[in-house]
Amino acid sequence: MTRKQLIQSAYRLTGSYSGFYDGMMTYSTLSGKAICRIVWNMDGEKNYRYVEEALKGIPEDFSGSLLEVPVGTGVLTMPVYK
């Protein structure tokens, strides 16, 4: 497999194709909720507070570019910039 194919395969496994990663970060899928509860002991309210904490450093009037490190799917920051 080429590097590009390996990356695409990994993304399909954990990214928005499966909903696993994004569902976990947004607490929006059954598998995401299960991982949040089992691994991090986070219910919906704790998850919401986590996301709020993660994004509070971004000013509301920010119009520059944002780099997520480690690079994720953008599920948390893309809605901020739509």
The answer to whether residues 5 and 11 touch, using CB atoms and an 8 Å cutoff, is no
Q: What is the mean pLDDT of the chain?
A: 80
Q: What is the pLDDT of residues 48-63, one digit of tens each?
A: 898 888 888 888 888 8
pTM here is 0.60
Instruction: Please determine, for residue 44, whether its predicted confidence score (pLDDT) is greater than 90.
Output: yes
Q: If you write DSSP's letter for every residue of 6-43 in order, what string do you get?
A: HHHHHHHHHSTTTTHHHHHHHT-SHHHHHHHHHHH---
Confidence of residue 40 (pLDDT cuts 50, 70, 90): confident
